[in-house]
């Protein structure tokens, strides 16, 4: 094999290896668009966590949970999805329990698709509307699918 032919073979092999590496990376970590969606979902979870904390503080202060999301006394609280503008779901249940709902674009139960692995344990969600039932004074309850 001549030096020119060997050079072409090495260039083609290098190109194929590069394409394979990029394709493997996209399969493992997702496309930039999928990563953006996962970051938005992490933001949604952070918002729900802050709503939970604000409602808990209000329960501790007033002895009663706020009836609605608007009744939560926290002016800096984001009450709507940062991407769609749709309000988060909030319901005061009985005995210090609340239900928090959001629409998610990704499934954070897949270890390869997590932006923040710690969120999966307390706030596991699939794609679509997911509601979490929480207690103001106890550890988190598992997610329940929305009807």
Distance CA 50, CA 32 (A): 27
pTM over 0.85: no
Mean pLDDT of 4-23: 71
Distance CA 125, CA 144 (A): 9
SS3 of 140, please?
A: coil
Sole residue written with tokens 């596991």? 124
Pairing of strands 143-145, 89-92: unpaired
Residue 30 has pLDDT above 70, yes or no: no
| Beta bridge partners of residue 90, listed in sequence order | 100
Least confident of 26-30, 35-39, 50-54, 86-90: 26-30
Q: Over the Cα atoms of the chain, what is R_g?
A: 22
User: What is the average pLDDT score of the chain?
Assistant: 84
Distance CA 65, CA 53 (A): 11
Largest pairwise CA distance in the chain = 85
Q: How many C-alpha atoms does 140 have within 13 Å on its Cβ side?
A: 16
């Amino acid at each position: 094999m001549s030096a020119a032919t060997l050079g072409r073979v090495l260039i083609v092999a290098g190109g194929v290896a590069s394409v394979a590496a990029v394709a493997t990376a996209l399969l493992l970590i997702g496309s930039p668009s999928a990563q953006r969606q996962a970051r938005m979902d992490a933001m949604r979870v952070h918002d729900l966590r802050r709503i939970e904390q604000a409602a808990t503080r209000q329960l501790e202060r007033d002895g009663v949970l706020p009836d609605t999301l608007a009744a939560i006394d926290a002016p800096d609280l984001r009450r709507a999805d940062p991407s769609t503008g749709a309000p988060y779901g909030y319901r005061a249940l009985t005995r210090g329990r609340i239900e928090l709902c959001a629409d998610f674009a990704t499934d954070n139960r897949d270890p390869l698709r997590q932006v923040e692995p710690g969120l999966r344990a307390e706030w596991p969600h699939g794609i679509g509307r997911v509601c979490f039932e929480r207690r103001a004074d106890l550890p988190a309850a598992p997610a329940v699918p929305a009807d």
